[in-house]
Amino acid sequence: MTRMIIAGAQLGPIQKADSREAVVARMIDLMNMAADKGAGLIVYPELALTTFFPRWYMPDWNEVDTWFEREMPNGATMPLFERARELGMAMTFGYAELTPEGRRFNTSILTNRKAEIVGKYRKVHLPGHDEYDTERAFQHLEKRYFEPGDLGFNVWRNEGAIMGMAICNDRRWPETYRCLGLQGVELVTIGYNTPAVNSQMNAEGLEKRLFHSDLSLQSGAYQNATYVVGVAKAGLEDGHPLIGGSIIVDPDGFVLARAETEEDELIWADCDFDKCAFGKTTIFDFARHRRVEHYGRITSQTGAIVEV
Amino acid sequence: MTRMIIAGAQLGPIQKADSREAVVARMIDLMNMAADKGAGLIVYPELALTTFFPRWYMPDWNEVDTWFEREMPNGATMPLFERARELGMAMTFGYAELTPEGRRFNTSILTNRKAEIVGKYRKVHLPGHDEYDTERAFQHLEKRYFEPGDLGFNVWRNEGAIMGMAICNDRRWPETYRCLGLQGVELVTIGYNTPAVNSQMNAEGLEKRLFHSDLSLQSGAYQNATYVVGVAKAGLEDGHPLIGGSIIVDPDGFVLARAETEEDELIWADCDFDKCAFGKTTIFDFARHRRVEHYGRITSQTGAIVEV
């Protein structure tokens, strides 16, 4: 039996002027709270160390690179790794990764209880656009600042459970969960920064945005019989609002814990990974029920093709 | 602009002793009600003409075949087709199909406003089992009585909108909606017969069963920016309870109409198919955002493979 208290560490807003060191201090505060709850794993948001910089158009790539990390851990994040090691707590968080070859990815890492990095994921589904868009209320330049992830969807057996990662917009794509589900995933961790306003439809309010986040996380959990933890960076970053709504979802798709604020806030749930087995061996026993001979379009075709 | 009032015609229970003619009379009553609402299309459940016979183990295949239709329309259903033609209403319903070659499928058909059959679908994701199961509270022998559908997931432009069909358990599989979404679907019609009790987990109550149905229909709609209509056969069939919960879902995943009873009940909604365009051209613009190079497992691998 593998059972673990999982914590979701929602972060409130990070302003452009805030240093990584200040953010890491906040992350350590949340980690200490998680330790008090007995957590074995703590999940932080996407791009946890900085403001959500893809909302800003920066023509100067030297300026862009100030938002990226060249190694992990590094000087700013070492205290987080050290505290995790002291507490014996696994963790996952997101950051902007600049590789030695000069490639840029929206990345997350997973550590074990010794604070050793056991897994890395690079965001596959980049939303937004790659050039300045005069039509938008604000920019969402992920396609400019990042390459699509090149590592695919992988799982790791970490501290007894089969874990996979995804990032933000990945959570809206059922392919994400299915690729992990086909590897037996029991816990999917997903950090996000989601604007509270649709830059292309101002009338779409916060309530609808939260509904879509929940719907995606809950259906992904149910349809793959896995726990899913979605963790937000939330609140008003330099005037730009981000949704909160961090949740922990069980393998039946039910919400076990939900953040109530748009600030730094810890949520947690006692997760019994054996509970994944029922769905995986009955209604979602893939080997018995899936019919891949009819799924061809999913991999042979990228965009919609209307032929009727 | 294509706009149409879509009706969902939930059917209450059909007992083993009920004749097809009696059921067709109920279907016509619902069709007349739909005409009063101005409906252009009416959606009936899976296996709409008979009780949900896969709950019964029948060793005698001659008895099995009494539940199947050898042609469509046939004598029993002709009055339904005639009334649809008079009213100028398109329709879709499910039935057990026995082909001239002796093959058996769980099938649905789609007609246009002239009551001409324009599309046929055969259920791909058959739930349940193929031999008598002593461990179950009741039987679910779809894998015994039907072959998996051999036609795949197709769409038809019918009365101005791009329509696709799925049946019952298909609705829990995101592959279903995605295969249709990749063909630009604007309306997915899904009839179902879902036991109110999980034959393998008695404690799973009605509320959870309805939640899972909603979750699947709503996420499928949202993630493919399509209307989805899910229509139940509901209530107590010879002592066996079926969930109701028929709903019409908009391309944002919101429920527009919901059945409140477990009886014959009509729901309807005014569907503006142009509303599918926003999602299909922004967040779910597949051509811009999907990354098929990382989806390989979805089609290359049927069952889960745990390698960690």
Q: Which of B63, B51, B60 is nearest to B22 (CA)?
A: B51
Q: Which of B4, B46, B11, B13 is nearest to B30 (CA)?
A: B11
CB of B94 within 8 A of CB of B121?
no
CB of B267 within 8 A of CB of B38?
no
pLDDT tens per residue, chain A (308 residues)?
Answer: 689 999 999 999 999 999 999 999 999 999 999 999 999 999 999 999 999 999 999 999 999 999 999 999 999 999 999 999 999 999 999 999 999 999 999 999 999 999 999 999 999 999 999 999 998 888 999 999 999 999 999 999 999 999 999 999 999 999 999 999 999 999 999 999 999 988 787 777 889 999 999 999 999 999 999 999 999 999 999 999 999 999 999 999 999 999 999 999 999 999 999 999 999 999 999 999 999 999 999 999 999 999 99
Q: Which positions in chain B touch A304 (Cβ < 8 Å)?
A: 181-184, 280, 286-287
CB of A127 within 8 A of CB of A140?
yes
Residue B109 vs residues A150, B43, B73, B168, B189: alpha-carbon distances, Å: 43, 10, 10, 14, 10
Is the Cβ pair B307, A183 closer than 8 Å?
yes
Query: For an interface test with B, which of A142, A182, A199 has the most B Cβ atoms less than 10 Å from its Cβ?
Result: A182
Q: Is B203's Cβ below 8 Å from some Cβ in A?
A: no
Token pair, residue A181, equals 């589900």
Radius of gyration of chain B (CA): 19
Q: Is A57's Cβ below 8 Å from some Cβ in B?
A: no
Q: Which positions in chain A touch B195 (Cβ < 8 Å)?
A: none
Query: For an interface test with B, which of A110, A158, A167, A212 has the most B Cβ atoms less than 10 Å from its Cβ?
Result: A212
Radius of gyration of chain A (CA): 19
Nearest to B182 among A125, A292, A305 (CB): A305
CB of A222 within 8 A of CB of A253?
yes
Catalytically active residues of B, by annotation:
46, 123, 168
Please, how many CA atoms are within 13 Å of residue B74, restricted to the half-sphere of its CB? Answer: 13
The whole-angstrom distance between B112's CA and the closest CA on chain A is: 15
Token pair, residue B46, equals 């899976």
Q: Which of B71, B76, B75 is nearest to B96 (CA)?
A: B71
The whole-angstrom distance between B106's CA and the closest CA on chain A is: 15
User: E strands of chain B, at which residues?
Assistant: 3-10, 39-43, 90-98, 104-111, 117-122, 155-158, 161-167, 187-193, 227-233, 235-237, 240-242, 247-249, 255-258, 265-272
Domains of chain B and any CATH numbers: 3-300 (3.60.110.10)
